[in-house]
Amino acid sequence: MKLLHLYHDIMNLYGEYANISAMERILKKSGIECQTDKLSIGDNAELSEYDFIYIGSGTERNQKAVLEDFRKYTITLKSYIDSGKVILMTGNSFEMLGGRITDASGTEFEGIGIADFSVKEQNKKRNTSDAIFKADFSDKELVGFINKCSEIFGIDTPLFDVLMGLGNKVDDDKEGIRINNLFGTHLTGPILIKNPYFLEYIANLVAGKEKEISTKHLGFEKTGYEVTLNALCRAGAGAVPALSVRN
Partner 1 sequence: MKLFLTILICRFLRFIGKLMGKGSSLPGKIALKLCPDILDRVKLPEYIIAVTGSNGKTSTVEMIAHILTENGKSVAWNKEGSNQIEGVTTLILANSTLSGRVRNDILLIESDERFARYTFKHITPTHYVITNLYRDQLTRNGHPEWVADAISDSIRDNTQLILNADDPLVSVFGKDRDNVIWFGADRLESDTEECTGMYDDGVYCPVCKKFMRYSSRHYAHIGHYKCTNCGYKRHDTDYTVTSVDLDKGLAVIDGKYDISLALKSLYNIYNILAAFTVASVVGIDKGKTAENLSNYVMKNGRVVNFTIGKRHGTLLTAKHENSISYDQSIKLAASEKSGCDVMFIVDAVSRKYFTSDVSWLWDINFDMLNCENVHKIILSGKYCNDLAVRFSYTDIPRDKIKIFEDIKKAYDFLNSDREEYIYTITCFSDKGKFLTLL
Return residues touching partner 1 (CB under 8 A): 9-10, 12-18, 21, 25, 59-62, 65, 123, 126, 128, 130, 143-145, 147, 149, 188-190, 193-194, 220-221, 223-224, 227-228, 231-232, 235
- Pairing mode, strands 108-110 and 86-90: unpaired
Q: Closest distance between partner 1 and the C-beta of residue 130, in Å?
A: 6
Cβ-based nearer residue to partner 1, 182 or 199: 199
Q: Closest distance between partner 1 and the C-beta of residue 203, in Å?
A: 16
Q: Closest distance between partner 1 and the C-beta of residue 224, in Å?
A: 4
The residue ranges of DSSP E strands in 12-169, in sequence order, are 35-39, 52-55, 86-90, 100-102, 108-110, 118-121, 127-135, 142-148, 150-153, 160-164
Cβ-based nearer residue to partner 1, 179 or 229: 229
**Distance, CA of 4 to CA of 51 (rounded, Å):** 8
Cβ-based nearer residue to partner 1, 184 or 190: 190
Cβ-based nearer residue to partner 1, 106 or 209: 106
Helix (H) or strand (E) holding 231: helix 219-236
Residue 44 phi/psi, 5-degree rounding, is -120, 95
**Distance, CA of 1 to CA of 235 (rounded, Å):** 41
Q: Closest distance between partner 1 and the C-beta of residue 226, in Å?
A: 9
Residue 26 phi/psi, 5-degree rounding, is -65, -35
Q: Closest distance between partner 1 and the C-beta of residue 218, in Å?
A: 9
Cβ-based nearer residue to partner 1, 91 or 98: 91
